[in-house]
Amino acid sequence: MSYTEHHYRSRDGLSLYYRSYGSGSNVVLCLPGLTRNCKDFEDLAEHLAGPWRVISPDLRGRGQSERDPKPAHYNLGTYVKDVWKLLDELCIERVVVIGTSLGGLMAMAMAEQHGQRLRGVVLNDIGPEVPPQAVTRILQYAGRTPPAEDWKAAAAQARQAYGLAYPDMPEDFWSAHIRLSYRENAAGRLEPDMDAAIGEVLRKPPAGLKWLQWLHRHGLMRRLGGISIDPWNSFRALTMPCLLLHGALSDVLTGEIVQRMQALKPGLEVVTVPDRGHTPLLDEPIALAAIDRFLQRVLSS
C-alpha cells in the first residue's frame, strides 16, 4: 500500500488520523461509515491514486483517531467540522467526496454548508432517511459487539452481523474483511476498532428532542449545530454532479427512497450493485466502473 500517514488536531484538541494516497492536484475525500474506518478505502484509493490524490480519514473515535472523552461529540455536526478542519489545514479548496453510509450523510451536510467546495459527490448506499427497521438493526450491534477470542471468532461475528449484505461470500473474504475493522485490545482479545460510546450515544435520545421536533414542525428551527434537522434539505443542496451507488439487497437505501431522490434531483446517476446490501464494498467491477466514469466526468467539466 503506497500511502503516507498523518495526524492533525481537531478544533477541540483531539488527535485525528488520516491517510494520503498520490499527489495530484485533484482530490478525492473518502468518508467511512458509522462503525468503520479509513481501511475500507484501501483498494479504492490505490485504484484512484495517480490522476487523483485520495485523502481518507478515521473519524473521531475510530481507528487511529483519538477517542472522545465527551461522547456527546459523536454526532454529524462534529464529524463535518473535523473534516473541514482537515481540508483547511491541507489547503485543499475543492474535493470530490465519496461517502459510505454516515460518510454520505456528511457529504450532504457539507454540500449544504459550503457547496462550492464540492466538485462532486458519490453516495454509497445512503439517502436522506433510513427506514426504522434498518435503524433498529444497526443499533442492535453498534458498540455492543463483545470481544472475540481469535480472528476466526471475529470473522464469525462479522458474518452474523453482515451476512445478509454479502451473501455467498467465502470464508477467506470474512477473514480479510474483519481485519479492516477489528483490533487487539489490552487483554489480547479482538474487538471492533471504535469507541463503544458511539453506539450508546445513538441509542440515547437527545435531551429536549420532543421540544426540538415541535419547533421544527412549526418552522421555528431548521438547523441544529449547523446541520439541517430535516436531512432532505441537505440532500437538496447537492447541486453538483452526484452518483448514487445502491446495494440491491440494502435495507438502508430502499427502492422507494431512491425514487424520491431521483424525483428531487433528476440528474442523479443511480447504479445498482447486485448481490450487495448495506453497503457495497467499492471493489465490485460495476461500482468501480461507475466511479471511474463519474470522476472522468468531473475532470472534464
H-assigned helices in 188-230 = 197-203, 209-217
The count of residues in the chain is 301
Q: Do the domain assignments include residue 188?
A: no
Q: Can you give the pLDDT at residue 215?
A: 52
Closest among 226, 265, 224 to 112, alpha carbons compared = 226
Domain carrying residue 39? 3-143+194-300
Q: Do the domain assignments include residue 52?
A: yes
pLDDT tens, position by position, 230-277: 899 999 999 999 999 999 999 999 999 999 999 999 999 999 999 999
Rounded Cα distance, 255 and 29, in Å: 27
% of the chain with per-residue pLDDT over 70: 93
Q: Can you give the pLDDT at residue 50?
A: 87
Q: Can you give the pLDDT at residue 207?
A: 62
Q: Can you give the pLDDT at residue 211?
A: 57
Q: Can you give the pLDDT at residue 155?
A: 95
Rounded Cα distance, 129 and 265, in Å: 15
Q: Do the domain assignments include residue 169?
A: no
What CATH number did the domain enclosing 125 receive? 3.40.50.1820
Closest among 20, 237, 248 to 107, alpha carbons compared = 237
114 CB contacts (<8 Å, ≥6 apart)?
84
Q: Can you give the pLDDT at residue 257?
A: 98
Q: Do the domain assignments include residue 189?
A: no
Intervals of the chain under pLDDT 70: 1, 205-224
Q: Can you give the pLDDT at residue 269?
A: 97
Q: Do the domain assignments include residue 51?
A: yes
Q: Do the domain assignments include residue 171?
A: no
| DSSP letter (8 states) at residue 67 | P
Q: Do the domain assignments include residue 219?
A: yes
Q: How many domains does the chain have?
A: 1
Distances (CA, A) of 92 to 103, 118, 160: 18, 11, 40
